[in-house]
A and B are shown apart, each in its own frame.
Chain A
Amino acid sequence: MKIAIASGKGGTGKTFVATNIFFTLLQNNYRAMLVDCDAEAPNAVAFFETKLIKETEVTQQVPVINTETCTFCGKCHDYCNYNAIFILPPMKIIHVIEDLCHGCGACSVACKFGAISEKPVSLGQVALYSTNRLPALIEARMNIGVMSPVTVIKVAIKQVDNQADIVILDAPPGTSCPFIQTVASADYVILVTEPTPFGLSDLKQSVETLKIINKPFGVIINRVGLGNNKVQKYLMQEKIPLLLEIPFKKEIAGLYSRGKIVSETDSFFAKQLQVLVENIFIQYGNSSNQR
């Protein structure tokens, strides 16, 4: 099964929770994998001793227009919904703005003169890493300057295949398309929030989104002790399961900042996470995933 760790607000502790759950699963001999889907800012791999097994280049097709055969009819420009083709027929100027292209192929279909071919351009990489000689981590990494991480995320999740029984997806922040792509492929979503007004506001937005796409979910509140208790009240009102409260401790922040796994030394925390995931696995692990 796939469990996505997500949050509307950035910096609430998604990667902290994802890496600690993943570590705990490995310790308990689960066939587990961690996929870092935060392709804009991937960080999960740094928490483990890993070896790179393979790296796949993720590409997108963009059009190449042959100006010899092009009649400057403008149909490709009309078909392009992303304004990625710039054309000035009287001047015989036609230009592809690769940054705007989504690779949909509409222009190729539009061109009746065979003037459009396609070439691949790099969007990023998907890397597979091993820990203890087992394939265990997949990282999606978008190139700097690329507009959307969605394609790289899709390829990363696909790479899991059947290599694990429990897959932890470390989701990107927000509730827009990168978030949706990640949680859509999950069987269950753990939302990580913090007990502050910003945390609550972004949590509500994530909850709304997950309800729309009909995903089962629960909430972990991180840094309890800071802020107020309005998140807890909201969860009670909405009957949303509160999976765990993680207290705010400077030691945890310090360990995390140095790239250390807290559940490695904190056996109580490790046990909490193990029970949490096992409960989710029992309840939702058998539901067949549509996507």
Chain B
Amino acid sequence: MEIAVISGKGGTGKSSISAAFATLNGKVVLADCDVDAANLYLIFNPSHEEENIYITGHKAFIDYSLCTNCGLCMDHCRFDAISLINDKVSISEIACDGCVLCSRICPENAIKMVANDKSRMYSGSFRNGKMVYGRLSPGEENSGKLVNMVREKAKQVAKKNGLETIILDGPPGIGCPVISTLTGVDKVVIVTEPTISGLHDMQRVMGIVQKFNLKAYVIINKYDLNVSMSTQIKTWCKESNITMAGELPFDKNMVEAMVQGKSITEFNPNINISKKIKIIWNKILNQKM
């Protein structure tokens, strides 16, 4: 069973809660799908049993020994990536989308495509099972594809090791990597916080969840920072027929656990927040779809 943890808004506590889920019961496969800002490895320090190179895409480069400065590529580029700088046709690496059109149409064959091969996917073991995570090299694109790779690997690893539960720690937002995290999962956990932004972003991400017709559970993290906003979120969930999985209080131990490289439930299983997370996780795991 694949369970994705997402949020819409960043920093609501997705990864901390995923880390707790991953260390509560039996062994799991933990997949960090926030490839743009992977963090769970900081808590679990997994072994690197396998490393894969991920090609995020290609960028166009001009071979100036062949370029005649004709400007045909400039006319065709729709990403405003090619312009004249000091009267010389130049390609902006940042704006280039890697569509290859300029390279195809160049009459002098002066444009070469160079692969971005700095991103990586790792898989290995951590103290409560197996872990897979991707690290997108800074400034790279196509994070959705890397998420797909991470999920594929997580499934293989689960099968090979006879592990049933796969936890996907998702990226923030609602774009391509989020969509890649959500397609075909069994359950979705949305971690939100009682702020205007938290509610708004949860509503946006629910749009995706509903598009895919997925079973969603909402957790309000730090609910006591604004109780009336928490009530507003609960009301919205009720009206929209979304299951509330539970509320968690603000607790500085959450940060303290992270600093010590532990999940909150490892850090102290007996405090209120740890107990609550355990109840929530069992509810999510055991409810029939």
Contact = CB atoms under 8 A, between A and B. Distances in A.
Contact of A81 (B11, B98, B141, B229): B98
Contacts, number: 183
A180 B37 contact: no
B173 to A, nearest CB: 4
Contacts of A179: 139
Contact of B225 (A175, A177, A253): A253
A38 to B, nearest CB: 8
A270 to B, nearest CB: 21
A175 B173 contact: no
A176 B141 contact: yes
A285 interface: no
B73 to A, nearest CB: 11
Interface string B117-131: 000000000000000
Given A8-B37, A41-B201, A79-B101, A213 B259 contact: no
Interface string A195-223: 01110011001101100110000000000
A105 B101 contact: yes
A254 B10 CA distance: 18
B249 to A, nearest CB: 12
A2 interface: no
Interface stretch (B157-165, B190-198, B271-279): B190-198
A130 interface: no
- Greatest chain A CB density within 10 A among B144, B200, B208 is at B200
- Greatest chain B CB density within 10 A among A103, A226, A257 is at A257
A257 B199 CA distance: 10
Contacts of B11: 9-12, 194
A11 B9 contact: yes
Contacts of B175: 40, 142, 146-149, 178
A184 interface: yes
A263 interface: no
Given A147-B179, A177-B139, A104 B99 contact: yes
Nearest to A105: B78
Interface in A150-201: 172-181, 184, 194, 196-198, 201
Given A177-B139, A257-B195, A258-B229, A104 B12 contact: no
A253 B139 CA distance: 31
Q: How large is the interface on A (under 10, 10 to 19, 20 to 34, 35 or more residues)?
A: 35 or more
Contacts of A43: 9, 196-197, 200-201
Interface in B183-216: 193-198, 200-201, 204, 207-208, 211
A247 interface: no
28 contacts: A9-B39, A10-B173, A41-B10, A43-B201, A81-B100, A103-B78, A104-B97, A104-B99, A105-B78, A106-B101, A109-B101, A109-B104, A144-B204, A148-B175, A149-B173, A172-B173, A173-B172, A177-B140, A197-B258, A198-B15, A205-B37, A208-B138, A253-B250, A256-B195, A257-B194, A257-B198, A257-B225, A257-B226
Interface of A: 8-12, 15, 40-41, 43, 46, 61, 79, 81-82, 102-106, 109, 142, 144-149, 172-181, 184, 194, 196-198, 201-202, 205-206, 208-209, 212-213, 226-228, 250, 253-254, 256-259, 291
